[in-house]
């Protein structure tokens, strides 16, 4: 396991992950393009959930490459990467279960979003955030749920409208669990030295 952590903290791996995440973030904002065109300006920052999560992680990687820690961004990254990573996998599986089919992009989204969740946890031993950062990131995340399910700014999956109360309820508790994971992995567990 020590060799594995040595490998994932090498500058070359961090730089490669940064490139992959930048490309994924750009694609994510592109995917939300049509929805963003219809979104009132006041909600714009809250609509592109997954690309914003991966953008947070891009900043985490930049900080690591600079041998720094940006605690608030780290807290936002772990909570949102895990939350939206799992959320997208569940929504695509739900689509497959209900409709009996899933476009190839749905499988691609499941793979890429699962990777997001894994990334968030994998690098958690190197995060240096404190309680206050978790509180701020938690407020951001729960506020985003309110925007999505009270003001109906949720991502445009065809099935969500049919199951809005259930998906909103699931999403709220997923947020709570991810906030708890941020505490467990980012504060409770033993820290590792990145540089």
Residue 40 clears pLDDT 80, i.e. is over it? yes
> Considering the entire predicted model, what is its pTM?
0.94
Least confident of 70-74, 145-149, 191-195: 191-195
Question: Residue 82's pLDDT is what?
Answer: 98
Structure tokens at 113: 């979003």
Least confident of 48-62, 122-136, 180-194: 180-194
Least confident of 85-94, 117-126, 160-169: 160-169
Structure tokens at 122: 């994998």
Question: Residue 159's pLDDT is what?
Answer: 80
Question: Residue 194's pLDDT is what?
Answer: 77
CA distances from 130 to 88, 114, 182, 190 (A): 28, 26, 10, 14
Q: CA angle at residue 37 from 54 to 91, to 5 degrees?
A: 50
Question: Residue 109's pLDDT is what?
Answer: 93
Q: Helix, strand or coil for residue 66?
A: coil
Question: Residue 143's pLDDT is what?
Answer: 97
The pLDDT > 70 percentage for the chain reads 99
The pLDDT > 90 percentage for the chain reads 85
In the structure, how many helices (H) and strands (E) does the chain have? 8, 0
Residue ranges covered by each domain of the chain: 2-188
Question: Residue 47's pLDDT is what?
Answer: 96
């Amino acid at each position: 396991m020590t060799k594995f952590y040595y490998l994932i903290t090498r500058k070359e791996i961090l730089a490669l992950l940064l490139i992959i995440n930048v490309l994924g973030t750009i694609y994510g904002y592109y995917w939300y393009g049509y929805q963003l065109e219809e979104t009132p300006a006041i909600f714009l920052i809250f609509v592109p959930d997954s690309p914003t999560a991966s953008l947070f992680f891009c900043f985490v990687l930049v900080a690591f490459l600079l041998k720094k820690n940006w605690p608030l961004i780290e807290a936002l990254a772990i909570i949102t990467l895990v939350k939206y990573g799992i959320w997208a996998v569940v929504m695509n599986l739900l689509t497959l279960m209900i409709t009996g089919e899933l476009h190839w992009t749905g499988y691609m989204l499941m793979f890429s979003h699962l990777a997001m969740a894994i990334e968030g946890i994998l690098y958690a031993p190197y995060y240096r955030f404190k309680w206050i950062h978790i509180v701020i990131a938690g407020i951001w995340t729960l506020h985003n749920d309110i925007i999505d399910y009270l003001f109906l700014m949720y991502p445009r999956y065809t099935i969500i409208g049919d199951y809005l109360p259930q998906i909103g309820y699931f999403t709220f508790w997923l947020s709570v669990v991810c906030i708890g994971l941020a505490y467990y992995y980012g504060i409770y567990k033993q820290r590792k030295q990145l540089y």
